[in-house]
Structure 1
Amino acid sequence: MAIKLEEGRVKQAVDSLLEMFASGNLPEKVARTFINARAGYGRPSDKWSLGNKLLMLIAGTEDARGYQQWREAGRQVKKGAKAFYILAPMTRKVIQKVIDPETGEEKQEEKAICTGFKGVPVFRYEDTEGKPLPQADYSPPELPPLYEVARRFGVEVKYLPFAGQAAGAFRPGQKQVILYSHDVDVFFHELAHAVHNTIRPLKGGQHRDQEIVAETVACVLCELYGAKGYLWHGWEYIKHYAGQDPKTALKAIMAVLGEVEEVLSRIFEAAGMTADRKA
């Protein structure tokens, strides 16, 4: 009976959402927020360029350092571990003649210029052993609704400082949801990916239908939980993948609505099971 009641609420929320999308009458958007690195928990990679941070994430880690940096942190690179390479600028100092804006006099000034880049070997945290590193907890003061559902599906949820890429990510192979924002719609979006992956294995990267399913589920959940300020972002996200024309975007949603409803059904079924266990 409880599940049928939820199905009724979900249908009402879906209808309300589609009506808002069709009319363009959306609640005013809220500001986006991202998690900043916490002072006192310094990783060398926090100061890296966006490109090098992406290389680190592609290597499958959130912390990578040089051999000596790991030794200074009390850890040793495991025997046989292979490094991956980030790019560091090569600089040299030159003397330039400049005009003092106040006196108009010519003077010489030393300046460092970039002459190229070199590869620097770094090792993943997972390829080291030794002293535990200090851990910063980036979780929000209050966990989002349905947080336990992720665990119900065996998915770990981690909050980390924003590294310049997407606000969140789902890693099917590691069964992890990584969140770089405390915004509730980001969690709902990645939770939708995780549950969608139980219906059919998701393709790697960002694919049109997968993203539309995840964002539509997130919007429905925002509507159900009263987080209306995120619907504007959701509609823009869907249009980005479906085409900026609202009619085309609505057709794209309707084409995957069956999968959206199945994802929502599984989420609420898992939520009901969690509630039963707590009772």
Structure 2
Amino acid sequence: MPGRAHPDIFIDEKIKENIDKILEMFETGNMPAAIARTVIRAQEGFELPSDKWSLGNQIIMMAHNTEDARGFKQWQEVGRFVKKGAKAFYILGPMCKRIKNKEDDREKIIITCFKSIPVFRYEDTEGAEVEYPDYLPKEPPPLWDVAEKMGIQVNYRPFTGEAFGSITTDGRKMTLRTHDVKTYFHELGHGAHGTFKKLKGGQHEDQEIVAETVACVLCELYGYHGYIYHGFRYIKHYAGAKDGKESARAIMAVLSDVKQCLDIILSLAEPLEELTAA
């Protein structure tokens, strides 16, 4: 492409252009209409026990390098048996108690404590094959190859009502419960962030603002403009901001990390020559 700037300069210009655009939209409130978010529904008859677990327990499972973990008897129910010498890992299950309301004599259930529950990985069992449904999108999202280049395993699972996506703190396993590209971009942002800063467990404010800003910039770069309002609300929540100006200031506070994440992702992507930020 004659006369085109050096690739690094070109990428830097695109990043700056779209960050400036997002900051302006946040500050003015003038942004594209939001599109509806979507979630993946479990195929009937294919629900896994772990689909009903808390997000924390699902992340524990992911950290043990498996997509399916169950108790000893649960495996027997599907014709599989724990291998001799296999070791369980533990998730947390609530201990509940029924109490009566003295005023109206109605019963309610309260959580009194949590107990450790041993579960075993699919890989540590043997026996009948388990059929798993395919939740992959019909077409992969942009930058699909970047996750592979970063050594991130991406899995699509049904939505459980807690989070659209998650990634382990080591940045090795990503789970998506929606086909919306913004969620993939968000978790990819976390993955890039984890290459130069140790990710903290849970949803740390700065980490979430970095990942969501990365997602907003990538959405603009690749033409998915209807997600910006969702990104604005997300960042506003984690920044504890009253308005768009405070949200923009929260982005500015972590802008160095945002740019570094985008540099990492786009350096691994296909050339941006054909992209135009509309």
Q: Per the shorter chain, which TM-score range?
A: 0.7 to 0.9
Equivalent residue in structure 2 for 1:270, among 229, 249, 268: 268
1:259 aligned onto 2:257:
yes
How many Å apart are 1:126 and its aligned residue? 4.2
Equivalent residue in structure 1 for 2:88, among 79, 82, 87: 82
The TM-score, its normalising length taken from structure 2, stands at 0.79
- In 2, distance between residues paired with 1:116 and 1:238? 32
- In 2, distance between residues paired with 1:209 and 1:31? 26
- In 1, distance between residues paired with 2:109 and 2:163? 29
Structure with a larger share of its residues in helix: 1
- Residue 199 of structure 2 aligns to a residue whose secondary structure is coil
Matching residue of 2:193: 196
Q: Which AA in structure 2 matches 1:5?
A: F
- In 1, distance between residues paired with 2:111 and 2:268? 54
Matching residue of 2:78: 73
- Residue 178 of structure 1 aligns to a residue whose secondary structure is strand
Structure 1: gaps (5+ residues) = 92-112
Q: Which AA in structure 1 matches 2:13?
A: G
Matching residue of 1:157: 154
How many Å apart are 1:30 and its aligned residue? 1.1
CA contact (8 A) 1:3 1:272 kept: no
- In 2, distance between residues paired with 1:170 and 1:87? 24
- When residues 17 and 115 of structure 1 are mapped into structure 2, their CA distance, relative to the original with a 3 A threshold, is closer
How many Å apart are 1:58 and its aligned residue? 3.5
Q: Which AA in structure 2 matches 1:221?
A: L
Q: Which runs of structure 2 are paired with 1:130-279 in the superposition (5 Å)?
A: 130-173=127-170, 175-246=172-243, 247-272=245-270
- When residues 82 and 3 of structure 1 are mapped into structure 2, their CA distance, relative to the original with a 3 A threshold, is same
- In 1, distance between residues paired with 2:110 and 2:239? 43
How many Å apart are 1:125 and its aligned residue? 2.8
Q: Which AA in structure 1 matches 2:129?
A: P
The TM-score, its normalising length taken from structure 1, stands at 0.78
- When residues 29 and 73 of structure 1 are mapped into structure 2, their CA distance, relative to the original with a 3 A threshold, is same
Matching residue of 2:32: 27
Q: Which moved more, 1:239-248 or 1:135-144?
A: 239-248
CA contact (8 A) 2:72 2:82 kept: yes
- Residue 185 of structure 1 aligns to a residue whose secondary structure is helix
Structure 2: gaps (5+ residues) = 1-5, 99-107, 274-278
CA contact (8 A) 1:86 1:121 kept: no
Name the count of aligned residue pairs: 251
CA contact (8 A) 2:169 2:200 kept: no
CA contact (8 A) 2:75 2:81 kept: yes
User: What is the RMSD of the two structures over their aligned residues, measured on CA atoms?
Assistant: 3.0
- When residues 215 and 174 of structure 1 are mapped into structure 2, their CA distance, relative to the original with a 3 A threshold, is closer
- In 2, distance between residues paired with 1:45 and 1:217? 30
Q: Which AA in structure 2 matches 1:257?
A: L
